[in-house]
Amino acid sequence: MKAVAFHSPGAPDVLQVMEFDTPVPGTGQVRVKVKAAGVQPVDCAIRGQGFSLPGVEIRYPQILGNEFAGIIDVVGEGVEGFSVGNEVIGWSLLSSYAEYVVVPTSQLVRKPKSMPWEEAGVLTASGQTAHTALQELGISKGDTVLIHAAAGGVGTFAVQLARAWGATVIGYGQPT
């Protein structure tokens, strides 16, 4: 399979399209043919400065990418609730800039039919961050919430979620 990877940290031009073995799902995993993948700040830090997530070892050549959307093409043993042909959104550590990614089903949700692939591929990081933050704060109906950077990736999700949960939202941002 083809994947975007790099041999050492550096400017964006260190990224190359390389050939890798196509992954095979194990028990409880599925393989997804990637239709879209998001670029997160952490991807740029890993590529640019050699940053590593806690507990994650960078192995060169390293594939980047932590969020994706695609279609399940192979189902491993013991998988329930997902089947070949399902359109999904998911996350993976350092592997989604590839034609295929293998993940446990706990890292997937179904993609809404009406959602374009380009939007689905960038949903998980910002959406999950906003959801987790608001949930940990216990935001609910009647609360007033100030959301910094309301026009950014996380902010746009936070505004919509807080409003959906019945909160009054005050948001601000700055022109770029």
Higher-pLDDT residue of 118 and 174 is 118
User: Per mean pLDDT, which range of 23-27, 38-42, 108-112 is the poorest?
Assistant: 38-42
C-alpha–C-alpha distance, residues 2 and 44, integer Å = 20
Work out the average pLDDT over 142-164: 94
C-alpha–C-alpha distance, residues 79 and 172, integer Å = 44
Kindly compute the dihedral angle of the four CA atoms of residues 164, 170, 174, 176, in this order, to the nearest 10 degrees.
Answer: 10
Do 66 and 38 contact (CB within 8 A), yes or no? yes
User: What is the pLDDT at residue 93?
Assistant: 87
User: What is the pLDDT at residue 175?
Assistant: 79
CA-wise closest residue to 20 among 41, 39, 3, 42: 3
The residue assigned the tokens 């640019």 is: 48
User: Three-state SS across 11-37?
Assistant: CHHHCEEEECCCCCCCCCEEEEEEEEE
Query: Residue 160: how many CB atoms within 10 A of its CB?
Result: 13
The structure tokens listed for 22 are 């196509």
Please state the pTM of the whole predicted model. Answer: 0.82
Domains of the chain: 2-120 (3.90.180.10), 125-171 (no CATH)
C-alpha–C-alpha distance, residues 34 and 100, integer Å = 6
User: Per mean pLDDT, which range of 4-8, 113-117, 127-131, 135-139 is the poorest?
Assistant: 127-131
The structure tokens listed for 7 are 């041999």
The structure tokens listed for 42 are 């952490």
pLDDT at 176 over 80: no
C-alpha–C-alpha distance, residues 170 and 99, integer Å = 41
Work out the average pLDDT over 4-19: 96
